[in-house]
Structure 1
Amino acid sequence: MNKIPYISSLRFIATIFVIVIHVAAPILSNAQPYSLDWYIAQYFQVISQFCVPIFFMLTGALLIPRDLSFTEFTKKRSKRILVPFIFYSLLYLIIDIGFQLNTATPNYYLIFKNAIIGIVNGTKFHLWFIYALIGVYFFIPFIGKSIRTANKKEVTIFLILWIITCNTNLAVYIPKINLINFSSYLGYTVLGYYLSKFDIKFKSNKIILLTLFIIGITIPLMSIEHYKMNQVNGDFSILFKTLCLISSKLSGGYLGINTVLTSISIFCFFQLLNISLTNSKYLNKFDKYSYGIYLIHPLIGMIPLFMYINTKLSNPFYVIIISTILSVTLSYISIALLSRIKSLKQFIT
């Protein structure tokens, strides 16, 4: 199957920005709330949040058009996704158990309990995404049949309902119907298919796309100010308070309306310009190794070099930039070298 330039480029960008999120996360959690360091880490988180939805959107754009039975679909995807996932899950589990055993009085019951929790929820923080992706994969062969036969209007209605229901902060205004399965990441896969298949007027308007992006990153920043106003005294205008309150209702992590807007704008922008960032030999390989890079990068982050950077550099802006570049580069080199070993290749990427 021939690669689509903007699809490969989006995967490349999303892989980098998911590492940005993971690099910024400990800085955000350790910084004093509303301090300069905290705001810098928070801004990096906000501008990077589109990365996870983009992965699901690419899944929908690539896989929903394929008319495969459930058996055919799962057989084709299981080896590509499950084998490396199981390998890294066991690797992170062994490392975690090793750390727990390396104490003066190891609690074997607690170690066993944590191992079970890890297997159920993910043995490393980033593996939740693979669990969610596997869940989406189970639905694609079934929902794909309906989406492929639906017209543009019908898919639009589906996506409008999904956007409304996926925002947890608006749940108080929605009748108490359990919409958790409908409002999960499956909606992003349909959105990716929708944007890649149908001709929509705003997709070709750069001003609209830029506006959607700006609104998308402004909403969580205004939401932060809303929570800050509840903790500190200050003279704020009624208009500013109202905008911050509204933003707090629209902001909701990966499933928030803010993230939907930024994800749409970035996806459409790359599609409109058919941006190709993976033409070179190394970037093309990066696209090929992106799954392995995603899986291995927390392991790379355990290298003492990153702790040294955190202690030596006082500015979190430089810490995040340098740590991200190093993590991406070292992860890429590690996967490229390990993939040369035939017996390991199927396990690591």
Structure 2
Amino acid sequence: MELKTETKKHIVWLDVVRLAAILMVIGVHCIDPFYISPTMRDIPEYTRWAAIYGSLFRPSVPLFAMMTGLLLLPVGQPLGAFYKKRIFRILFPVVIWSVLYNLFPWFTGVLGLDKSIIGDFFCYTQGSESQALGDSLRDVAMIPFQFSFKENHMWYMYLLIGLYLYMPFFSAWIEKAAAKEKRVYLGIWFASLFIPYATAYVAPWFGVGYLFGESTWNAFGMFYYFAGFNGYLVLGHYLKKGNGWSFPKTLAISAVLFGAGYWVTYSGFAAAAADAMSTEADMELFFTFCSPNVAIMTAAVFLLFQKVRINSERVARLLANITKCGFGIYIVHYFLVGPFFLLIGPSSLPIPLQVPLMSVCIFLVAWGFTALMYRLLGKKAVYIMG
């Protein structure tokens, strides 16, 4: 069903996809302490479940990119109007919250707290905590160029702004291209997703470090212009109208796709994590969002959720509110990961249940905070919460 509100129309099944993607993102961040925290990474069960859940939640960010392509391609606004509506709406919240994240260490010093609390909140900073104002201001000054480990999730904001910059130019082709041409594009894009694996496993057979024209002086190889998250934009746009399959057929195909993608993702990451000689790049290879295994997992989730039907208007409006608050939930949730891990991680709760419980709790608190900001500030809340 479609739900009409005062400002826009919500595609309800897409709201369900967005809810799943938000929970997946939060879940991915909930496992960070499992293999980064010194007290947890030496416990095999924690690292095993980090691999299980980390592999399960890989479609998170690609789902957001697919939804962006579905909703915004082809772009129906002039260049300036599109940039003003899309980029500037997220730019203010991103800058405000990036500043807050980076000033947090200094605030803890002002309050007289031990600097270890910084590592408790942001596990990637453990061992390098600093409460010096100069260090915080340096990180703030770097915001236009790069995120810090204190706001690790903000990497996606740089990517999203880049996609927004690109979309009006790409849109002209999308609008005129036939379905067959889009399938050809997606086929070449899917082939490009194998390049990291080919570079890691095939290139050494030939005694080379690069493939398809890449070299130390050229990072733009043969498939470069088809690679990356723009493929997810096109995939979301292409699948917008559904596939006409029955639910049983969709469920069967989605299960096969997701199962195959998950097997590659989990087995590859688990093998790399078990090898003491593996580098961070080796471990991230099978977790890469732009990889064939993650792409088929993402497509499986998207195809399956397209079949969701919500007949309750109350549930539909609840999902619409989650969509409204979704950007704010994404921005603020990283502040909550550390505290909830401290509450739940050391508990007697079985490890397999800790990540789902943390994810749901963080989601509810972040959603409640974002909804409260909208209630208190009205439309002005968009400048803070997006």
Range of TM-score over shorter length? 0.7 to 0.9
CA contact (8 A) 2:55 2:287 kept: no
Match of 1:12 in 2: 19
Name the amino acid aligned to 1:73: F
CA contact (8 A) 1:53 1:254 kept: yes
1:329 to 2:364 alignment: yes
Structure 1 segment 219-230 matched on structure 2, within 5 A = 219-227=264-272
State the aligned residue count: 333
Deviating more after overlay: 24-33 vs 322-331: 24-33
Once the two structures are TM-superposed, the CA of residue 65 in structure 1 deviates from its matched residue by 2.9
Structure 1 segment 10-159 matched on structure 2, within 5 A = 10-30=17-37, 31-32=40-41, 35-99=44-108, 110-123=135-148, 124-159=151-186
Match of 1:245 in 2: none
Structure 2 CA distance for partners of 1:41 and 1:302, relative to 1, 3 Å: closer
Q: 2-side partners of 1:118 and 1:142: how far apart?
A: 26
Q: 1-side partners of 2:139 and 2:91: how far apart?
A: 22
> Residue by residue, what CA displacement relative to the aligned partner does 1:64-123 show, whole Å, maximum 9, x if unpaired?
033222112112213432222222122212224434776799656544443334542225
Match of 1:341 in 2: 376
Q: 2-side partners of 1:25 and 1:66: how far apart?
A: 37
CA contact (8 A) 1:57 1:188 kept: yes
Once the two structures are TM-superposed, the CA of residue 297 in structure 1 deviates from its matched residue by 0.7
Deviating more after overlay: 196-205 vs 215-224: 196-205
Match of 1:284 in 2: 320
Which structure dedicates a bigger proportion of its chain to helix?
Answer: 1
Structure 1 segment 191-210 matched on structure 2, within 5 A = 191-197=235-241, 199=243, 205-210=250-255
Deviating more after overlay: 153-162 vs 164-173: 164-173
CA contact (8 A) 2:269 2:284 kept: no
Name the amino acid aligned to 2:345: N
Name the amino acid aligned to 2:20: I
Q: 2-side partners of 1:294 and 1:311: how far apart?
A: 25
CA contact (8 A) 1:60 1:189 kept: yes
Name the amino acid aligned to 2:264: I
1:212 to 2:237 alignment: no
Structure 2 CA distance for partners of 1:224 and 1:306, relative to 1, 3 Å: closer
Deviating more after overlay: 122-131 vs 173-182: 173-182
| Structure 1 unmatched runs, 5+ | 233-247
Structure 1 segment 233-248 matched on structure 2, within 5 A = none
Deviating more after overlay: 63-72 vs 268-277: 268-277
Once the two structures are TM-superposed, the CA of residue 15 in structure 1 deviates from its matched residue by 0.7
Name the amino acid aligned to 1:311: P
CA contact (8 A) 1:251 1:257 kept: no
Structure 2 CA distance for partners of 1:277 and 1:50, relative to 1, 3 Å: farther
CA contact (8 A) 2:106 2:131 kept: no
CA RMSD of aligned residues (A): 3.1
Structure 2 CA distance for partners of 1:108 and 1:18, relative to 1, 3 Å: closer
Secondary structure of the corresponding residue to residue 196 of structure 1: coil
Q: 1-side partners of 2:274 and 2:107: how far apart?
A: 44
Structure 1 segment 287-298 matched on structure 2, within 5 A = 287-298=323-334
| Structure 2 unmatched runs, 5+ | 1-7, 116-129, 204-210, 215-219, 278-282
* 2:230 pairs with one of 180, 186, 202: 186
Match of 1:241 in 2: none
Structure 2 CA distance for partners of 1:91 and 1:114, relative to 1, 3 Å: closer
* 2:212 pairs with one of 162, 171, 175: 175
CA contact (8 A) 2:105 2:131 kept: no
Secondary structure of the corresponding residue to residue 3 of structure 1: strand
Q: 2-side partners of 1:260 and 1:29: how far apart?
A: 27
Name the amino acid aligned to 2:303: C
Q: 2-side partners of 1:210 and 1:53: how far apart?
A: 18
CA contact (8 A) 1:19 1:297 kept: yes
